[in-house]
Amino acid sequence: MRCRRCRGAAVIEVRRHNAAFCGDCFERHVREQVKRAIRDHAMLEPDDRVLVAVSGGKDSLGLWDLLLGLGYRASGLYLGLGIGEYSTRSGDVVRAFAGERGAELIEVDLRRDYGYDIPTAGRKGSRSTCAVCGLSKRYVFNRAALEGGFDVVATGHNLDDEAATLLGNTLRWQTEYIARQFPVLAEREGMVRKVKPLYRLSELETAAYAFIRGIEYVVEECPLVAGNTQLRYKEVMNALEATSVGTKTQFLLGYVERAAPLFRDGDGPPVELTPCERCGQPTTARFCAFCRARAQVLGERLGPAERDPGTERQTAEEMSSEVLPAELYGAGRAG
C-alpha cells in the first residue's frame, strides 16, 4: 500500500476513508480531524484553559497529546476510582505521561476525597456499578473544572463510543438523551463547557495514533465493565461496519449534521437549576444526584429536613427517577 498523501510506504489503512497513510501523514490526518471538529463546533478558543479528563486509556491520553501539540493550555484530570490493580496501573501511566511532557496533572481520589470507591458504590448503592461510575465522573469533572478556573472540559469519546451510545438511546427512543448528545455542550450556570474533539475519529484511528506516537496506555478494559450494554451496542455497530464500511460514520455524523437540530429544537423549556444544599453544585432538587448517591453508599443522612417527618432517607426509586443535573450536563449513556 502507498500513502494517499505522500505516496510513501503506508503503515495503516483507514477503510472508511478509502485511504492508507504513512506514519507522518496519519498523524497529520488525525490532527486535521481534531482541528476540524474544534473549528466546526467552536469547541475551543486559543486562550481557553482546557481540562482533559484522562483515564490512562488510548483515547484520553491521545487527546491530551493532540491538544498540547496544537498549542492549547491543556491540563489533565485523573480520577482514582479505587478499582484495584487496574486503577493503580492507570494512575501510574497518567503520571508518567504528564511528567514526560511537563504538563499539569490534577488528581482526585474518590476514596480519599469523597469517602467511597466504585466497587463499594456498586455493592451498596441503588445504581449499577457503571451508572454510579459515570455519575461520579461527570460530577467530579465539572466540579474540578469550576474550582480550578478552567473554561472547558474535554473528554476522549471517539466515533465508536458516540455511535454506540446513539444506537442504544435510539433503540429505546430516549429522546431527552438523544437531544443532549452533541460534540459540544454549552456552559450554563454552574456547569462548564464540555467538548468531544475525537468524535470524528474511530477507535482504530485513536489506537493507531497512540502507537505511532509511542504513547504508553492501559490496554485492558475495566474489570467491572462486563455485562455493560454499551459493549453490546459496539459489537452490533462493528458487525454492521464489517459488511458495510462507513456505517458508523454515516450514522453518527449524519445525526450530528442533520438530525441533532431537530431533537435539540424540541427539547422543551430550560430546566431550572438551583444549588445543591450540601455541595452547591447545580441540581433540579434540594440535593444533587451525586450527593444523594454518595449519602446512600455511606449510610449518611443528607440533612434533618430533607424528607417528610418520620422518614430519614430517600428511597432508591426516588434517587434513580429524578432528573439529574449531571445527566443534563453530559449525554446519557445507553444501558
pLDDT at 59: 98
| CA pair distance 208, 221, nearest whole angstrom | 17
Q: Range with the lowest mean pLDDT among 13-17, 128-132, 242-246, 326-330?
A: 326-330
Q: Range with the lowest mean pLDDT among 189-203, 277-291, 309-323?
A: 309-323
Residue 92 pLDDT level (bands cut at 50, 70, 90): very high
pLDDT in tens, 110-162: 999 999 999 999 888 778 899 999 999 999 999 999 999 999 999 999 999 99
Residue 308 pLDDT level (bands cut at 50, 70, 90): very low
Query: Is residue 98 over pLDDT 80?
Result: yes
Domain ranges of the chain: 27-216+225-271, 274-321
pLDDT at 199: 98
- 3-state secondary structure labels for all residues of the chain: CECCCCCCECCEEEHHHCEEECHHHHHHHHHHHHHHHHHHCCCCCCCCEEEEEECCCHHHHHHHHHHHHCCCEEEEEEEECCCHHHHHHHHHHHHHHHHHHCCCEEEEEHHHHHCCCHHHHHHHCCCCHHHHHHHHHHHHHHHHHHHHCCCEEECCCCHHHHHHHHHHHHHCCCHHHHHHCCCEECCECCECEEECCCCCCCHHHHHHHHHHHCCCCCCCCCCCCCCCHHHHHHHHHHHHHHHCCCHHHHHHHHHHHHHHHHHHHCCCCCCCCEECCCCCCEECCCCCHHHHHHHHHHCCCCCCCCCCCCCCCCCHHHHHHCCCHHHHHCCCCCC
pLDDT at 106: 98
Query: Is residue 316 over pLDDT 60?
Result: no
pLDDT in tens, 232-266: 999 999 999 999 999 999 999 999 999 999 987 64
Cα–Cα distance list, 34 to 19, 38, 74, 183 (Å)? 18, 6, 15, 11
Query: Is residue 335 over pLDDT 50?
Result: no
**What's the gap between Cα 266 and its chain centre?**
24
pLDDT at 127: 81
27-216+225-271 has which CATH code?
3.40.50.620
State the average pLDDT over residues 51-74. 98
* Helices within 174-217 (DSSP H only): 175-180, 203-213
Q: Count the residues in the chain.
A: 335
Q: Please give the grid coordinates belonging to residue 54.
A: 484522562
Coil, strand or helix: which one is 56? coil
